[in-house]
Amino acid sequence: MKKPLPPPLSEQIIWLTGASSGIGAALLHGLSKRCQWLIISARNSDRLQQLAEPHPNVVALSADVTSRDAMQAVAADIAARFGRIDTLIANAGSCEYLDVRQFDSALVKRVIDTNVYGLVNSLEAALPLIRNSQRGYLVAVSSSVTYLALPQAQAYGASKAAVRYFMEAMRADLASEHIDVSVVSPGFVKTPLTDRNRFRMPMRISANVAAEAIIKGLQRRPWEIHFPRRFTWLLQLLGCLPADLRLALTRRAATRLPTSPQKQPD
């Protein structure tokens, strides 16, 4: 069977989670100009409505990705309105840093619940709608932190590594259905989340620059969309070093980091 061509962005119905701030809000503004319909989700209903109001082709449907029932309800609403989606962008996520001197398993659970189970709930809700597209597309935001294990990023890095593995397995299983799969691996992006970081963030870019890089990637559908390239290539290179050399680098970085965990809201 010949593989169908993906619809152009101008004809697509896209579902974007985590749309209330940061990269998600920047994607909202960029995609609303390019796609047919954009459905946006996040926990903050008032903020979503405020963001959607200027755009006649944007529909705000609030939901917490950690709630399976809430995501299923949004999917049912989308099915009733449109009957399908062409692309899911699973962008919702959170970050908290772990201080091993005050080890906190509840912190780890919170991050994994949002970043991993939030993705799983999103995929389960979206897949029936994606299968109604002529060639569906699943996109999940991972992180360049998965290239190199960094101090205090145990919870965040492990959750984003799980996202990468999960999506690559989904890519293999969905290939026969002509459903494309991508992961997004950003470096440091200026958002409310990174504004709370108390360490140096080299090559940090704006959310708008990040959104444009993602949108450009959406039109090519590669396995991975990563940026800024100089930073992500450097991390990939460092990640290929022998374990003892990696430890020498990351151990030095650990001594420069704050010693108390910080909760990073989506």
- 151-172 core/surface letters (b: 16 or more CB in 10 A; e: else): bbbbbbbbbbbbbbebbeebbe
pLDDT tens digits, one per residue of 68-107: 999 999 999 999 999 999 999 999 999 999 999 999 999 9
Q: Of residues 117, 137, 156, 165, which has the active-site annotation? A: 156
156 is catalytic: yes
Both tokens of 179, joined, read 């459903």
Q: Stretch 225-241: mean pLDDT, rounded?
A: 94
Looking at per-residue confidence, does 263 or 24 come out higher? 24
Residue 83 Cα distances to 77, 130, 133, 175, angstroms: 9, 10, 9, 22
- Structure confidence at residue 157 (pLDDT): 96
Question: Per-residue pLDDT for 264 more than 60?
Answer: no
Instruction: Name the strand (E) or helix (H) holding 206.
Output: strand 205-206
Domain boundaries, the chain: 9-264
Q: Does domain 9-264 have CATH number 1.10.300.10?
A: no
pLDDT tens digits, one per residue of 26-55: 999 999 999 999 999 999 999 999 999 999
Q: Say how many C-beta atoms besides its own lie within 10 A of residue 244's C-beta.
A: 7
For helices 45-52 and 22-32, give the axis angle rounded to 10 degrees. 30
Whole-number Å distance between alpha carbons of 123 and 129: 10
Question: Per-residue pLDDT for 171 more than 50?
Answer: yes
Whole-number Å distance between alpha carbons of 157 and 150: 8
Query: Would you place residue 2 in the very low, low, confident or very high pLDDT band (cuts 50, 70, 90)?
Result: confident
Looking at per-residue confidence, does 238 or 191 come out higher? 238
Look at strands 263-264 and 224-227 and give their pairing: unpaired
Any residues with CB less than 8 A from the CB of 35 and at least 6 apart, and which?
9, 10, 12, 13, 14, 57
> DSSP class of residue 4?
P
pLDDT tens digits, one per residue of 128-139: 999 999 999 999
Sheet holding 137-141, edge to edge: 58-60, 37-41, 13-17, 87-90, 137-141, 180-186, 224-227
- Structure confidence at residue 1 (pLDDT): 63
Q: Stretch 254-259: mean pLDDT, rounded?
A: 60
Q: Stretch 190-210: mean pLDDT, rounded?
A: 74
- Structure confidence at residue 261 (pLDDT): 41
> DSSP class of residue 201?
-
- Structure confidence at residue 262 (pLDDT): 44
Q: Say how many C-beta atoms besides its own lie within 10 A of residue 200's C-beta.
A: 9
Write down the pTM of the prediction: 0.91
Mean pLDDT computed over every residue of the chain = 92
Please, are residues 51 and 40 in contact by the beta-carbon 8 Å criterion? Answer: yes
Residue 61 Cα distances to 20, 65, 145, 171, angstroms: 11, 12, 30, 27
pLDDT tens digits, one per residue of 172-188: 999 999 999 999 999 97
For helices 22-32 and 207-218, give the axis angle rounded to 10 degrees. 50
Both tokens of 172, joined, read 């293999």
Q: Which residues pair with 227 in a beta bridge?
A: 186
Query: Would you place residue 252 in the very low, low, confident or very high pLDDT band (cuts 50, 70, 90)?
Result: confident
Question: Per-residue pLDDT for 108 more than 90?
Answer: yes
